[in-house]
Amino acid sequence: MKGGITRVARQALRAMLRPVVKFCIEHSITIQEIEELVRSELVNITKQQLKERGAKVSIAKVAALIGLHRREVSRFFKNEGEDFSRIGISSRVISTWIYDQAYRTSSGSPRELSFDGSSSEFHRLVKSVAPEASPKGLLEHFLTCGILTKTDSNKVIPVKSGYAPDNEPAEFFKMLELDLDEIIPAISENAFRTPQNPNLHHTTEYTELNAKHYEEVRGWLLDQGSTFHNTVRQYLAKFDTSVERQPGKTNQKTMKVFFTTVSHTKRDLVTSKKEEE
């Protein structure tokens, strides 16, 4: 069975690499650059996993685990890689603000929050969700990205129902990494463990729709997807322990739920059909 899983894992890796290779070709990323990035991430992620397990981290140990020469490992050893944690924190802060009763008005809308100083409502919100985060840094980022706006009463309020950076291409790909970090294990669990209730993995595709409805279809998918995400958030918020923890429940068992949707509408496609003779 072990050999079978290894064979399937290799097939899976090939399948995951295909869209990556297409991206590299489209953006003229050479094999030398790809190899350098792979080596760097092998070192960074191995170091991170060793730290999470409480194991000693050394160049020799990392080299033995990933099959690189020690000299190669030492080139990347001090490089910690990019920190994408802000995106996950940003999403949780905005979701809590919008869907938690403590931060909503009587009509159900997100409340305007004060933001000046450590005693401000925004500061308390951020610290309740992510104690390690910097409220000031998040505030500046949200305002720059257009996620928050200042009101006439010198407070801030969300203008979006989720975290979606504007005009920052790198941020979108950081979000993609976080998505893939959940999607790949979810599909692996379905493939290798066959749980009684599998992880949701559905795809709908139509290939010959009338292109004149392009904007209409894109808009409908965006509206419907956003509406359903709101429904999911409202449902999951009922079980959220991050804002108000019960006394004496510091070691309360928790779970993580990841739910994402992506639509991609292509136009200007030409469908060719053979004429029947």
How confident is the model over 141-169, as a mean pLDDT? Answer: 79
pLDDT in tens, 35-73: 999 999 999 999 989 998 999 999 999 999 999 999 999
Helix H segments across the chain?
A: 2-26, 31-52, 59-66, 70-76, 85-99, 121-129, 135-145, 169-192, 214-237
CA distances from residue 159 to 14, 122, 166, 192, 276 in whole angstroms, order as listed: 41, 15, 13, 42, 55
pLDDT in tens, 215-236: 999 999 999 998 898 888 888 8
pLDDT in tens, 111-131: 999 999 889 999 999 988 888
CA distance 154 to 165: 23
Minimal CA–CA distance to 65: which of 80, 83, 44?
44
What does the block give as tokens for 129?
């969700």
Q: What letter does residue 269 receive in the DSSP assignment? A: -
CA distance 259 to 214: 26
pTM score, two decimals?
Answer: 0.67
